[in-house]
């Protein structure tokens, strides 16, 4: 299963020898054009789904294949709409409180319950509340005339037999089931569920559920899980997904796999990965040799290396290996095809107008899909772009919306008005607080707790741009709050100076947590590092954080207190940009020790020796303080539940959690 370096070398060397240049192989088509080309070819080939009849109770979620007409009128007769008596309205004319009228039971008046058929000749119902029992029991007294058809549901009032009830392409939901039932349509003509065969391919991949954690961690194999994403996309679109066995990177085996899937009844085949034009990318070649490739390469990012073709009159497509690209290819090509084959429209996403918080450069000629976080700040929907990498699968799960940069555009400026397709209900976004700034795990914990504590649907959305980026976002009115841990070297005080330097309007500074920083060392602490003085040892190599980072400032403070010189530390000038990179350098043996937070040490199984505490605060503009979402957040921060769970995470102090540590009055500009 595992691929070796020499293997890779062989492939690539062959690639080089042939003088292949990856990108020259892709003939990029604009997205809409690519879709049209494929759809037209599919239509010309005569490919269509069949139809079948399903029993009404099993029809939920299916799509009508043709016009559905009522089999029975509803109601099927003139029916009482109230409990009471059925009468001929004409018999009641003249009745009044002064001149009550007695109607003879069984001759002029007939007891009737809601829903029952009116006796022949009757055309009105008098409600039980308006009757006065007559002493005899053989008649009832009324004090008001009935008008014709009063409290009667007339024959066919809702629908008439043979009337068209549902158009073709209608998704059958609860309301449609009700209408079909009332019209006595007991078997519903629906499109056969399209069957999509998903063929994962790759010589070094193993099914996620069978890959050992150790092998994954060491890079000896890669987990295959795109098929899980595809299957759920396909199933949410109302089709049936069949995940087939993984096929190695071998054109003959891939060809057999496609043919096998079609022979087993697949309507459509989705191949993943190998859709690009690298040395081991055979999808286009395989589809071409079995049938026809209509499109290889689409001008969309992520998602560029897509293959759209036809084999034996069946749609076959190839998606690239990176999960985000692959998802976009499935959403842009396969899901619209599934809808079209069933004469319906794909599920659409609500669009909202938003303001972009950061500039987004983009390559002209390429359409781009950008995942964004959203927050309604002062009535303006703010859109903050997430990581654009095609492998960043959490950029999908964390996103609130997706925005498109058109192919003709060279990018968008910060502050640009954009239209965003929502990935969550608008209500959920409206009720969220948007935090932009430094990231800490306790913010995610806070989100989880505030969701459970409020029935408002209040939640906390957070975007990570570092402490200083957060203060700037506050100043620009882009967010409701910011996490910050900026230590001022001169007075050893956190955040205040940075706020004064960067923010003009009043803010409240609230302690979220005290965060423990410590030395990360290899498991078992082989060099027995105990404190800051060990850094200057001859046998110890340090790995540092970049200048300006909070952790670097903290280190320099600690060194200053101990009277140690940076130059005395081996590796002081080697810089990494994140806690995790420092941890990785220690794990790999490139360094013996680095300074960082407990979570990063734990994530890589390193030992952790606490050496200092930093103040992690929330910066909250005063004008948002009274907002009910903010009040819910503050109440959650101050709750015992939050503090207990923070302590349980390890690496934190909560002594001052929830305290207002400073109120900044702002400055006149």
Instruction: Please report, as residue ranges, which positions from 569 to 588 form the binding site for its own copies (by CB under 8 A).
Output: 578, 580-581, 584, 588
What is the spatial distance between Cα 319 and Cα 331, in angstroms, rounded to a whole number? 11
Q: Which of 98, 175, 538, 539 binds its own copies (CB under 8 A)?
A: 175
User: Any idea what the Cα angle at residue 332 is, between residues 327 and 337, rounded to 5°?
Assistant: 115
Element spanning 262, H or E? helix 251-263
Closest Cα to residue 474, out of 443, 437, 511, 447? 437
Residue closer to its own copies by CB (options 507, 586) is: 586
Peptide bond into 443 cis (omega under 30): no
Smallest gap from residue 147 Cβ to its own copies (A): 13
Q: What are 664's strand-pairing partners?
A: 507
Q: Does 165 bind its own copies (CB under 8 A)?
A: yes
Residues in 217-256 that interact with its own copies by CB under 8 A = 217-219, 222-223, 225-226, 228-233, 235-236
Residue closer to its own copies by CB (options 425, 548) is: 425
Residue closer to its own copies by CB (options 68, 553) is: 68
Residue closer to its own copies by CB (options 15, 552) is: 15
Residues in 508-547 that interact with its own copies by CB under 8 A = none
Residue closer to its own copies by CB (options 150, 488) is: 150
User: Strand, helix or coil at 221?
Assistant: coil
Q: Does 150 bind its own copies (CB under 8 A)?
A: no
- Which are the contacts of 329, defined by CB distance < 8 A and separation ≥ 6? 275, 298, 303, 306, 317, 319, 320
Q: What are 316's strand-pairing partners?
A: 269, 309
What is the spatial distance between Cα 98 and Cα 94, in angstroms, rounded to a whole number? 10
Smallest gap from residue 620 Cβ to its own copies (A): 21
Q: Does 124 bind its own copies (CB under 8 A)?
A: no
Q: Helix H segments across 563-666? A: 579-588, 598-603, 628-637, 640-649
Structure tokens at 361: 């450069």
Smallest gap from residue 623 Cβ to its own copies (A): 26
Closest Cα to residue 482, out of 371, 377, 628? 377
Exposed, middle or buried by CB within 10 Å (0-12, 13-18, 19+), for 339?
A: buried
Where are any strands of DSSP class E within 193-306? 195-200, 205-207, 222-224, 240-243, 268-272, 292-296, 300-301
Residues in 272-311 that interact with its own copies by CB under 8 A = 278-280
Residue 634 to residues 481, 512, 639, 652, 662, Cα–Cα distance (Å):
12, 10, 9, 18, 15
Which segment (169-177, 261-269, 287-295, 516-524) binds its own copies by CB under 8 A? 169-177
Residue closer to its own copies by CB (options 475, 575) is: 575
Residue closer to its own copies by CB (options 230, 664) is: 230
What is the spatial distance between Cα 127 and Cα 85, in angstroms, rounded to a whole number? 7
Question: Would you tell me how many other CB atoms lie within 10 Å of the CB of residue 45?
Answer: 15
Smallest gap from residue 365 Cβ to its own copies (A): 18
Smallest gap from residue 495 Cβ to its own copies (A): 24
Query: One symbol per residue from 176 to 205: x for binding its own copies (CB under 8 A), - otherwise; what is it?
Result: xxxx-xx-x-x-------------------
Encode 573-609: b = buried (16+ Cβ within 10 Å), e = exposed.
eeebeebbbbbbbbbeeebbbbbbbbbbbbebebbbb
Rg (CA), the chain: 34
Smallest gap from residue 542 Cβ to its own copies (A): 17
Residue closer to its own copies by CB (options 232, 530) is: 232
Residue closer to its own copies by CB (options 263, 345) is: 345
Phi/psi-derived region of residue 367, left when phi > 0, alpha when psi is between -120 and 50, beta in every other case: beta
Residue closer to its own copies by CB (options 168, 477) is: 168
Q: What is the DSSP track for 158-213?
A: SB-TT-EEE-TT-B--HHHHHHHHHTT--EEEEEPPPEEEEEEB-TTEEEGGG--H
Residue closer to its own copies by CB (options 9, 560) is: 9
User: Strand, helix or coil at 18?
Assistant: coil
Q: Which of 103, 328, 445, 591 binds its own copies (CB under 8 A)?
A: 445
Smallest gap from residue 475 Cβ to its own copies (A): 28
Q: Does 14 bind its own copies (CB under 8 A)?
A: no
- Are β-strands 507-521 and 660-664 bridged in parallel, bridged antiparallel, or unpaired? antiparallel
Smallest gap from residue 55 Cβ to its own copies (A): 7
Q: Which of 252, 444, 501, 628 binds its own copies (CB under 8 A)?
A: 444
- Which are the contacts of 523, defined by CB distance < 8 A and separation ≥ 6? 605, 606, 607
Residues in 593-622 that interact with its own copies by CB under 8 A = 599-600, 602-604
Q: Which of 150, 161, 240, 631 binds its own copies (CB under 8 A)?
A: 161
The site for its own copies, by CB under 8 A, has a size of 146
Query: One symbol per residue from 361 to 390: x for binding its own copies (CB under 8 A), - otherwise; what is it?
Result: --------------------------x-x-
Q: Which of 451, 480, 485, 545 binds its own copies (CB under 8 A)?
A: 451
User: Strand, helix or coil at 621?
Assistant: strand
Which segment (14-22, 190-198, 309-317, 486-494) binds its own copies by CB under 8 A? 14-22
Residue closer to its own copies by CB (options 96, 212) is: 212
Smallest gap from residue 646 Cβ to its own copies (A): 12
Residues in 51-110 that interact with its own copies by CB under 8 A = 55-57, 60, 67, 71-79, 81, 83-84, 105, 110
Residue closer to its own copies by CB (options 168, 288) is: 168
What is the spatial distance between Cα 473 and Cα 660, in angstroms, rounded to a whole number? 21
Smallest gap from residue 322 Cβ to its own copies (A): 8
Q: Does 661 bind its own copies (CB under 8 A)?
A: no
Residues in 409-438 that interact with its own copies by CB under 8 A = 423, 425-428
């Amino acid at each position: 299963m595992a691929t070796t370096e020499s293997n890779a070398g062989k492939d690539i060397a062959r690639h080089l020898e042939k003088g292949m240049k990856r990108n020259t192989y892709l003939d990029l088509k604009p997205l809409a054009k690519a879709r049209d080309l494929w759809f037209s070819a599919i239509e010309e080939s005569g490919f269509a789904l069949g139809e079948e009849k399903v029993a009404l109770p099993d029809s939920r979620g299916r799509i009508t294949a043709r016009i559905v007409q009522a089999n029975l009128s509803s109601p099927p007769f003139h029916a009482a709409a109230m409990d009471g008596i059925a009468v001929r309205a004409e018999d009641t004319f003249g009745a009044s409180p002064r001149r009550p009228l007695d109607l003879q039971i069984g001759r002029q008046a007939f007891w009737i319950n809601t829903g029952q058929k009116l006796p022949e000749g009757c055309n009105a119902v008098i409600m039980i509340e308006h009757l006065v029992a007559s002493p005899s029991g053989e008649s009832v007294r009324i004090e008001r005339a009935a008008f014709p058809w009063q409290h009667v549901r007339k024959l066919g009032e809702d629908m008439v037999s043979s009337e068209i009830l549902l158009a073709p392409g209608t998704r059958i939901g609860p309301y449609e089931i009700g209408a079909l039932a009332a019209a006595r349509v007991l078997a519903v003509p629906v499109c056969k569920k399209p069957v999509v065969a998903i063929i994962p391919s790759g010589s070094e991949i193993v099914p996620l559920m069978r890959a050992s954690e150790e092998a994954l961690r060491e890079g000896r194999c890669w987990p295959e899980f795109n098929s899980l994403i595809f299957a759920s996309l396909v199933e949410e679109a109302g089709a049936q997904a069949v995940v087939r066995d993984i096929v190695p990177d071998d054109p003959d085996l891939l060809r057999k796999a496609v043919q096998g899937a079609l022979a087993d009844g697949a309507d459509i085949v989705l191949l993943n990965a190998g859709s690009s034009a690298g040395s081991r990318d055979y999808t286009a070649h395989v589809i071409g040799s079995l049938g026809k490739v209509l499109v290889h390469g689409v001008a969309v990012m992520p998602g560029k290396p897509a293959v759209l073709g036809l084999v034996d009159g069946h749609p076959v497509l190839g998606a690239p290996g990176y999960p985000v690209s692959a998802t976009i290819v499935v959403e842009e090509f396969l899901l619209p095809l599934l809808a079209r084959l069933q004469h319906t429209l794909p599920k659409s996403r609500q669009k909202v107008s938003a303001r972009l918080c950061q500039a987004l450069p983009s390559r002209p000629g390429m359409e781009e899909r950008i995942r964004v976080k959203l927050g309604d700040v002062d009535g303006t929907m703010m859109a903050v772009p997430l990581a654009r990498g095609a492998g960043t699968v959490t950029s999908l799960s964390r996103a609130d919306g997706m925005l498109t940069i058109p192919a003709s555009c060279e990018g968008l400026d910060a502050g640009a008005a954009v239209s965003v397709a929502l990935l969550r209900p608008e209500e959920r976004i409206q009720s969220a607080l948007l935090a932009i700034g430094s990231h800490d795990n306790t913010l995610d914990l806070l989100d989880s707790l505030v969701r459970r504590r409020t029935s408002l649907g209040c939640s906390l959305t957070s975007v990570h741009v570092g402490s200083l980026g957060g203060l700037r976002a506050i100043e620009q009115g882009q967010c409701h709050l910011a996490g910050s841990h900026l230590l001022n070297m001169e007075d050893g005080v956190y955040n205040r100076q940075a706020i004064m330097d960067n923010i003009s309007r009043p803010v409240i500074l609230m302690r979220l947590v005290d965060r423990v920083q410590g030395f990360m060392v290899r498991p078992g602490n082989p060099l027995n590092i105990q404190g800051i003085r060990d850094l200057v040892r001859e046998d110890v190599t340090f790995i540092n954080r970049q200048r300006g980072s909070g952790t670097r400032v903290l280190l320099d403070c600690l060194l200053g207190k101990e009277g140690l010189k940076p130059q005395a530390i081996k590796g002081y000038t080697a810089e990494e940009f994140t806690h995790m990179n420092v941890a990785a350098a220690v794990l790999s043996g490139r360094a013996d020790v680095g300074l960082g937070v407990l979570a990063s040490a734990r994530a890589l199984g390193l030992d952790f020796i606490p050496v200092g505490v930093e103040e992690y605060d929330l910066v909250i503009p005063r004008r948002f303080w009274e907002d009910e979402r903010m009040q819910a957040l503050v109440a959650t921060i101050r709750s015992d539940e939050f503090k207990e769970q923070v302590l349980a995470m390890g690496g934190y102090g909560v002594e001052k959690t929830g305290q207002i540590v400073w109120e900044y009055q702002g400055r006149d500009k």
